[in-house]
């Protein structure tokens, strides 16, 4: 079994109730994530902004998630922003269109924007965007990519990128911060935050068992 599969099995086990007669294993799983700080360090990944060849933005119902990408463009640190995602019908317009309009209203030119319009989940964000990058840019021209998504979702985005895109790429994690959404130092303080975080851990487990992830 690969290290990734072992890791995600441990996560899934840690999130299950303890079973009678399995006290030792249950205690081992509980100890893996008994500290909220350990969960925060794992999920909430952030790098310093720096110049990249492409900024990749994963869609969501919150268009202000575009802010890190817009800031990179304003600094001259990315020539292109690729927006990915139709979404799941939670917004009146497709998520990519919400993001596109948000960027245009903030003076990002249309020529700087690329669109992937079909994805409805994280895996599709990366698999569907491969054709856009191949046709519009070419992988040989891309070495460093900034990933923009919600803070608690960054680890899964990074691992999916490593699993679905070419090995030569370097990724920069630039999470978008929206007031009221779960952050590394506050997610455990309310039911919604705990729900998002533990759902994300389960999703990482599911992706790993389906062999959709790259290295941790």
> Token pair 């700080």 is at which residue?
37
Q: pLDDT value at position 187?
A: 92
Average of per-residue pLDDT values in the chain? 89
Dihedral sign (CA 43, 48, 52, 57): positive
How would you class 185 by CB atoms within 10 Å of its CB: exposed for 0-12, middle for 13-18, buried for 19 or more? exposed
**pTM recorded for the entire structure:** 0.85
pLDDT in tens, 172-208: 999 999 888 899 989 988 999 999 999 999 999 999 9
d(CA 66, CA 74): 12
Contact call for residues 115 and 96 (beta carbons, < 8 A): yes
d(CA 61, CA 98): 8
Q: Which two tokens stand for residue 39?
A: 């969960």
Q: pLDDT value at position 200?
A: 96
Q: pLDDT value at position 7?
A: 53
CA proximity to 45, closest of 178, 157, 200? 157
Q: Which two tokens stand for residue 182?
A: 């779960």
Q: Report phi then psi at 75, rounded to 5.
A: -80, -5
How would you class 121 by CB atoms within 10 Å of its CB: exposed for 0-12, middle for 13-18, buried for 19 or more? middle
Q: pLDDT value at position 33?
A: 47
Ranges 24-28, 52-56, 180-184, most confident: 52-56
Which residues are registered as beta bridge partners of 183?
none
Over 90: is that where the pLDDT of 67 sits? yes
Report percent pLDDT > 90 for the chain.
75
Mark 5-31 as b/e (b = at least 16 C-beta within 10 Å). Answer: eebbeebbbbeeeeeeeeeeebeebee
């Amino acid at each position: 079994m690969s290290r990734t599969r072992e890791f995600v099995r441990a996560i899934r086990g840690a999130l299950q109730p303890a079973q009678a007669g399995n006290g030792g294993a249950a205690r081992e799983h509980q100890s893996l994530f008994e500290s909220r700080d350990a969960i925060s360090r794992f999920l909430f990944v952030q790098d310093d902004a720096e110049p990249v060849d492409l900024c990749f933005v994963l869609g969501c119902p919150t268009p202000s998630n575009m802010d890190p990408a817009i800031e990179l463009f304003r600094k001259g640190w990315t020539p292109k922003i690729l927006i990915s995602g139709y979404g799941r019908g939670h917004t009146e317009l497709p998520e990519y269109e919400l993001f596109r309009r948000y960027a245009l209203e903030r003076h990002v030119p249309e020529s700087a924007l690329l669109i992937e319009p079909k994805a409805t989940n994280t895996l599709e964000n990366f698999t569907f965007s491969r054709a856009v990058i191949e046709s519009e840019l070419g992988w040989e021209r891309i070495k460093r990519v900034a990933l923009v998504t919600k803070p608690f979702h960054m680890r899964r985005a990074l691992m999916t990128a490593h699993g679905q895109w070419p090995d030569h790429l370097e990724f920069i994690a630039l999470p978008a911060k929206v007031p009221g959404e779960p952050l590394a130092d506050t997610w455990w303080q309310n039911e919604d935050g705990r729900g998002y975080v533990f759902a994300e851990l389960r999703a990482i487990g599911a992706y790993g068992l389906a062999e959709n992830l790259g290295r941790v």
